[in-house]
Amino acid sequence: AAAATEMAPAARGEGGGKPFVDEMRAVAMRLHTKDQAREGEKEPQAPPVARWEPTVEGYLRFLVDSKLVFQTLEDIVDRAAVPWYAEFRNTGLERSEPLKKDLEWFTEQGHTIPEPSAAGTAYASYLEELSEKDPQAFICHFYNVYFAHTAGGRMIGKKVAEKILNKKELEFYKWEGTLSQLLQNVRTTLNQVASVSSRALIFTLLFLSANLSSHGLVLICFIRYQSWSREEKDHCLEETEKSFAYSGDLLRQIFT
């Protein structure tokens, strides 16, 4: 009975607080500049997207680096060195295949596809390293890379296509199925890995009714989803700045 009362607050989501992905989003939104998003708090340091003067060469460098970064994220969750990374396989948000098709299209148009730049390879190796040593920080990047691309990234893609691609819509900006639903599924998974999931709660109730010792009960809950401590959550949120720095380096290539 003691174990059951201990489990209840955690099962509701860490003291009844808001879902963890809302915290991730709030931190990310604050790191935008005021001209990038309504909730942005930073002063602009670069020209706004509307005034970018993109080149095909720069945009290709960005696409090549993006493909490397998405491929790296996808390989990491496929390998699942940390078992719960497997929850992020086949979300429908994967971007390396669409990018491969886009690069083939550029080749057909007579463009030369560059090798990944230093910015791209630096980010890919940083992600590899984090994925093994620091899962909470890794998940911060996973969230920001995928979600940024569906928000600001899409808007950027549209502006660039208007200016230099004769409005050609790249596969990079097309998803199979309903994007909002795919995003919602990933938000749910993020909330589940960060908090004790409802699945773990069901285990708890089952074992309660089976009248097992409270010791056995606690063990079962932790085998399925060990929820993140407040410190681990904060550590994940603190990584957001690095995510913006690395992604910013990739984006900047479009107009420099």
Closest distance to ligand HEM from the beta carbon of 15 (Å): 23
Exposure string (b/e) for 145-184, b if CB count within 10 Å is 16 or more? bbbbbbbbbeebbebbbebbbeeeebbbbebeeeeeebbe
Task: Using the minimum distance from each CB to ligand HEM, give the nearer residue, 40 or 116.
Answer: 40
Q: Which is nearer to ligand HEM, 77 or 140 (CB)?
A: 140
What residues contact 113, with CB distance under 8 A and at least 6 apart?
60, 64, 103, 106, 107
Chain positions 21 to 60 lying near ligand HEM, rule: CB under 6 A, are 25, 28, 32, 36-38, 49
| Residue of 183, 200, 217, 221 that binds ligand HEM (CB under 6 A) | 183
Residue nearer to ligand HEM on the CB measure, 109 or 178: 178
Q: Which stretch binds ligand HEM (CB under 6 A): 109-117, 143-151, 157-165, 228-236?
A: 143-151
123-143 burial, b if ≥16 CB within 10 A, otherwise e? bbebbeebbeebbbbbbbbbb
Does 144 help bind ligand HEM (rule: CB under 6 A)? yes
216 binds ligand HEM (CB under 6 A): no
Residue whose C-alpha is closest to residue 173's, from 25, 59, 30: 59
- Judged by the rule CB under 6 A, the positions of this chain that interact with ligand HEM are 25, 28, 32, 36-38, 49, 144, 147-148, 151-152, 183, 243-244, 247-248, 251
